[in-house]
Amino acid sequence: MSRNMKIPRSVFCVRILAAVAAFAVGKGWAAEKEAGFEPMFNGRDLAGWKNPYGWGTASVVDGEVHLTGDKKFFLVTEKVYGDFVFEGEIKLPEGTANSGFMFRAHAEPNKVYGYQAEVDGDPKRRWSGGLYDEGRRMWFISPIKGNAESEAAFQKRAGEAFKRNDWNTYRITCRGSKIQIAVNGVTVTDVEDAMDASGVIGIQHHGEKGQTYRFRNLRIKAL
């Protein structure tokens, strides 16, 4: 097209309207995606969270929650949640590491138990996103530990969703007895269990001395 050729006014208007519409759709999608979510961590301090253990250290570093210690412990919310969509990001330390997001859980002095969305640092096992029952039934459903068929089916669902040396986004949805866990957008657990209808949400340090577990972008939407 010649540099001096004029674009007809009608064509110019159509292009402008199309661009505005595309921008509006994008903004609408983003607003819809974020609608109803509330931050659980303000990025400055640990308001709304507590450590029920006599050990372990939780700190805020550059807008992240860092857990350090030499024994397993959990940092849990002061508030109890029932039906919700929870999202959070975690980055495991290098080397031997394991963690999880507790939900609908129970906190007592030096003890936290209940549902946990597994964060598996073992590159061979690959059970990230599995449903573990901390302090009770353990691997009872997704997968069933020791059941070769269940374990294989879980690993097939999980695939390569979990990124061992990167940030990973977990999305946990609880509505009544229905529980779903997604890792980086891949749903790897979709089950029903009526053991607990509500409880605290927690993040875990597995107890590896000198290791730091990092968490960020913790948020929740009530259902």
- pLDDT of res. 35: 81
HEC string of 130-152?
CEEEECCCEEEEECECCCHHHHH
The pTM of this model reads: 0.84
Over its length of 223 residues, how does the chain's per-residue pLDDT go in tens digits? Answer: 444 444 444 433 334 334 433 333 333 333 345 689 999 999 999 999 999 999 999 999 999 999 999 999 999 999 999 999 999 999 999 999 999 999 999 999 999 999 999 999 999 999 999 999 999 999 999 999 999 999 999 999 999 999 999 999 999 999 999 999 999 999 999 999 999 999 999 999 999 999 999 999 999 999 9
- pLDDT of res. 34: 66
Q: Which residue has the tokens 């597995």?
A: 206
Give the C-alpha separation, 221 to 39, whole Å. Answer: 9
